[in-house]
């Protein structure tokens, strides 16, 4: 038994000294000290040695095991040092490292956050609501009955409800964040000042200034003795805070079923500085938002007395705001996956 153990030691040391890599050393270690290794099996066979000789053979086996382990450790340190020297000589420590890719906030997100900050500074609170909406809150609560012609301009996307108890045409993807106006007027008591940023959907032809899925801002205020002057002042303040004091704003009369009277706000095109381009259709002016005094019927539907309370409302699109803010000539750039676009923000 002693001769077998000595033979295992000599063979192990020979193999260890001949190793040229850490991988080879690991294989030799498993060959002799692993579960099925030669030395491990020999130690198990000590049980077959006569009882009076077992202590002596056992001490020899432990001594040989320690010798093999020490030799492996010494060889490991030698190979590790040589490996490090080779790697160090192959690396140019003066060469710049690999620059990690860093994400960027999307320009739409920039626009939303800046808009929220502006309105919060003048007392507006922020609300959110469902993108899957009922026909009632999207239209009827806003003084737009089912036969109203203005529905044709919204190009509504209807959800398929054939396998449910819901009547066809009653569940839609909201076409405007104004859907939250009826919900909030029902639950809150005036006075109130609210903005609602969110995503809306319309079946529209995509071009340089239109999209079928886009972000919109709805804002409204209800209080006593509110007038059109309050509306114009709020819009003028917001636009100049967002685009700068040099921007020009003009209002023109317009008809919306949920406001009376109604108006549209135009600003000088930030892309061409009012000279005329494809984005502003060569006019030098860009429609910024629709607005007006909340129609008495909308207040009545929410059980608010229009003889006591008045309000104004306005709505605009964040996509258009962003393209003007960052002087893009096509809002389709906002959905372009090219990282070179996002890296600019």
Token pair, residue 196, equals: 């609602």
Dist. CA 16–CA 69, nearest whole Å: 10
Helix pair angle (22-33, 54-90), 10° resolution: 170
Count Cα atoms within 13 angstroms, Cβ side, for 302: 28
Reference 296, options 216, 226, 234; nearest CA is 226
Token pair, residue 328, equals: 């893009």
> How distant, in Å, are the alpha carbons of 12, 145, 251, 310 from that of 260?
97, 16, 15, 11
Residue 85 is predicted with a pLDDT of 66
Question: Of the ranges 84-93, 110-119, 209-218, which one carries the lowest mean pLDDT score?
Answer: 84-93
140 pLDDT more than 80:
yes
Q: Could you tell me whether strands 125-126 and 192-201 are parallel, antiparallel, or unpaired per DSSP bridges?
A: parallel
Question: Of the ranges 110-124, 165-179, 294-308, 329-343, which one carries the lowest mean pLDDT score?
Answer: 329-343
Residue 209 is predicted with a pLDDT of 59
Residue 338 is predicted with a pLDDT of 79
Token pair, residue 154, equals: 């919204």
Question: Of the ranges 68-72, 154-158, 208-212, which one carries the lowest mean pLDDT score?
Answer: 208-212
Distance of alpha carbon 146 from its chain centroid, rounded?
36
208 pLDDT more than 80:
no
Q: List % helix, strand, coil for the chain (3-state, nearest 5).
A: 45, 20, 35
Reference 67, options 31, 124, 137, 13; nearest CA is 13
Question: How confident is the model over 226-242, as pLDDT tens digits?
Answer: 999 999 999 999 999 99
Strands (E), 204-258: 213-223, 249-254
Percent of the chain's residues with pLDDT above 70:
94
Dist. CA 250–CA 36, nearest whole Å: 89
Question: How confident is the model over 278-336, as pLDDT tens digits?
Answer: 777 888 888 889 999 999 999 999 999 999 999 999 999 898 888 888 888 777 888 88
Residue 265 is predicted with a pLDDT of 94
Residue 270 is predicted with a pLDDT of 76
DSSP 8-state code for residue 48: G
Dist. CA 268–CA 158, nearest whole Å: 36
211 pLDDT more than 80:
no
Token pair, residue 102, equals: 């860093």
Residue 90 is predicted with a pLDDT of 62
Question: How confident is the model over 249-288, as pLDDT tens digits?
Answer: 999 999 888 899 999 999 988 778 778 887 778 888 888 8
3-state SS, residue 197: strand
Residue 236 is predicted with a pLDDT of 95
Residue 101 is predicted with a pLDDT of 75
Token pair, residue 32, equals: 């002799």
- Mean pLDDT throughout 185-196? 94
């Amino acid at each position: 038994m002693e001769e077998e153990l000595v033979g295992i030691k000599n063979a192990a040391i020979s193999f260890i000294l001949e190793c040229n890599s850490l991988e080879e050393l690991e294989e030799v270690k498993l060959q002799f000290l692993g579960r099925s290794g030669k030395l491990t099996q020999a130690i198990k066979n000590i049980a077959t040695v006569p009882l009076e000789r077992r202590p002596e053979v056992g001490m020899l086996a432990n001594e040989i095991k320690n010798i093999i382990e020490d030799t492996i450790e010494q060889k490991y340190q030698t190979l590790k040092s040589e490996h490090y020297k080779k790697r160090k000589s192959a690396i140019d420590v003066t060469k710049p490292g690999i620059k990690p890719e860093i994400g960027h906030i999307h320009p739409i997100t920039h626009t939303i956050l800046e808009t929220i900050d502006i309105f919060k500074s003048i007392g507006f609170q922020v609300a959110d609501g469902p993108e899957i909406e009922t026909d009632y809150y999207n239209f009827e609560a806003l003084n737009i009955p089912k036969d109203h012609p203005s529905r044709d301009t919204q190009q509504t996307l209807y959800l398929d409800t054939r396998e449910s108890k819901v009547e066809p045409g009653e569940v839609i993807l909201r076409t405007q964040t104004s859907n939250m106006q009826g919900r909030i007027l029902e639950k809150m008591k005036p006075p109130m000042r609210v903005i609602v940023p969110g995503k809306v959907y319309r079946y529209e032809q995509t071009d340089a200034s239109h999209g079928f899925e886009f972000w919109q801002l709805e804002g409204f205020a209800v209080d006593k003795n509110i007038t059109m002057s309050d509306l114009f002042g709020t819009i003028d303040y917001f636009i100049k805070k967002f685009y700068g004091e040099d921007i020009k704003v003009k209002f023109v009369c317009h008809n919306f079923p949920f406001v009376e009277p109604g108006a549209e706000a135009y600003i000088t095109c930030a892309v061409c500085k009012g000279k005329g381009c494809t984005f502003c259709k060569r006019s030098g002016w860009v429609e910024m938002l629709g607005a007006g005094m909340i129609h008495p019927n909308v207040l009545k539907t929410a059980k608010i007395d229009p003889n006591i309370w008045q309000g104004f409302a306005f709505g605009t699109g964040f996509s258009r705001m962003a393209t003007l803010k960052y002087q893009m000539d096509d809002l389709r750039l906002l959905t372009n996956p090219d990282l070179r676009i996002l890296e600019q923000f």
